[in-house]
Amino acid sequence: MAEFWMELQPVDSYQVKANGVLSEKDRKIMTFLYQPLMGAECLALYDTLVTEVEENRLWSESHSHTQLLNLLGISLANLFQARLKLEGLGLLRSFVQTTGESRHYIYEMAAPLSPEQFFSDGLLNIYLYSKIGNAQYQRLRRFFSDEPMSEDGFDEVTRSFQDVFETFQGSELPVSTVANGEPVGRAVSRGVTLDDKAFDFAVMLQSLSPTMLSRNAVTEEVRACILKLHAIYAVEELDMVHYLYRSVQADGSLDLDYLRKIVRDGYQLQHNRLPELKAKTEPKVVSQDPQPQEGASDTEALAYYLENVTPYQLMVDISDGAVPAETDLKVIDEVLAQQNLPIPVMNVLIEYVLLRLDGKISKNYMMTIAAHWKRKKVQTAKEAMEMAWAEHEKYKKLQEEGTQKPPANYRNNNRKFNQTGRKEILPDWFDKEEVKPVEKEMTVREKSTLDKQVEEMKKRLKEGR
């Protein structure tokens, strides 16, 4: 979760590359076999990307991720997680090109495995069985299979090419009329890619007894099977050796079907259930905030911190290490997507809103300030801090002088025409949330609370959090 802010932004552009045409059967496979494993959002993302490529074309037009977010109606975080799941299942390959501050992605779509490949995969079919149960699993097997018709008693009378057509007599070969073209065929299935670094084959092979099992019996097919069993059941190297011994056949080869069975039975005996396919969650990262140069003032240290931290990590630090609420992250995500603020400016906005609203986040309030800063072309954390503090000082001065806000219609007319020559004291967003006529003692209490929160932030920065 902490990484997607830095890897993907709504303004990043993308194109979709199709390596072939998907059939109606492929879509049924995606719906019935893959959707239970990855969820509806992933399926919606896959279908949307595939549909963007026009029929008989290999490339889509270039779009920003903002359009994709609007089409799917999901957050940037959910889009990123859905993309990762598609990549992990072998349905999508992602490529990125960075030019200056802009990024351009290419999403290469792959076809799902065929039903025959899926049900004999040894990885995906196990997770599907665990997810939907035996009855539904067997129903899907019947849905995607049929008994072959017997050809016993029939004689083949098919003619060959030479029996039907005359031999070619021309002296010239046909010349392609499409320059630099590439014929569009059926999309290729990639399947799941497993990293062999996760399992130490050297340790396993060294532990094998030559009298029990020859190392030559561990073929590429056996290695692929072992990797899948390790991915599903987390079987360690030494435990795998014992399973291999039990799977040796009379001729010295390994019975892979039996190997899968005994590993599965061992897992069920130990855990009393089958394994489930779960997406990895980002480990809780110990905050290692960027440090400013020695001798920097408190303001410079704060600006440096806000320039380099991610919005997610900022929320974690403000909450003393607690995971931010999903509702707050969704608001931040939506504001960032709609206003396209630079990350440092967004950080200042988050900090400012939390200080103004006593630790709460309001979407309308944040969106209004973001739009104001966007119009002012605020680009850095320092610029955003200066604007926020300037407006706050104006607000405090207004309250200390006891100046009452003019009527709304006067403020609006003054903003539009400025006929009296009087400058507008506050931007409109200052009265969107909590800024109301208050007694003098409320002003003192607010000032005390604000100063205390700022001092705590400075103290945290000095301690190297």
Task: Kindly report, residue by residue over 159-174, the tens digit of the pLDDT.
Answer: 887 778 776 655 555 5
**Closest to 259 measured CA to CA, from 239, 277, 279, 273:** 239
Please state, in angstroms and as integers, the Cα–Cα distance from residue 183 to each residue in 59, 106, 110, 178, 189, following that order. Answer: 13, 20, 17, 10, 17
Please state, in angstroms and as integers, the Cα–Cα distance from residue 242 to each residue in 198, 271, 277, 367, following that order. Answer: 19, 19, 25, 61
CB 336 within 8 A of CB 308: no
**Phi and psi at residue 291, in whole multiples of 5°?**
-105, 135
**Closest to 16 measured CA to CA, from 58, 55, 45, 68:** 58
Give the pLDDT score at 180.
Answer: 57
Task: Kindly report, residue by residue over 244-293, the tens digit of the pLDDT.
Answer: 999 999 888 999 989 988 988 888 888 777 777 766 655 444 344 455 55
CB 26 within 8 A of CB 111: yes
CB 443 within 8 A of CB 399: yes
Angle at 299 between CA 293 and CA 305, to 5 degrees: 60
Question: Does an H or E element contain 105, and which?
Answer: strand 102-109
Any idea which residue has 């969704």 for tokens? 330
**Phi and psi at residue 96, in whole multiples of 5°?**
-130, 145
**Distance between CA 50 and CA 109 in Å, rounded?**
7
- Specify which of 70-84, 299-313, 391-405, 439-453 reaches the highest per-range mean pLDDT: 70-84
Does the pLDDT at position 427 exceed 70? no
Single-letter amino acid code for the residue at 324: P
Task: Kindly report, residue by residue over 302-329, the tens digit of the pLDDT.
Answer: 788 888 888 888 888 888 878 788 788 8
Does the pLDDT at position 136 exceed 90? yes
Average pLDDT for the chain: 78
Please state, in angstroms and as integers, the Cα–Cα distance from residue 365 to each residue in 7, 345, 352, 428, following that order. Answer: 27, 15, 11, 10
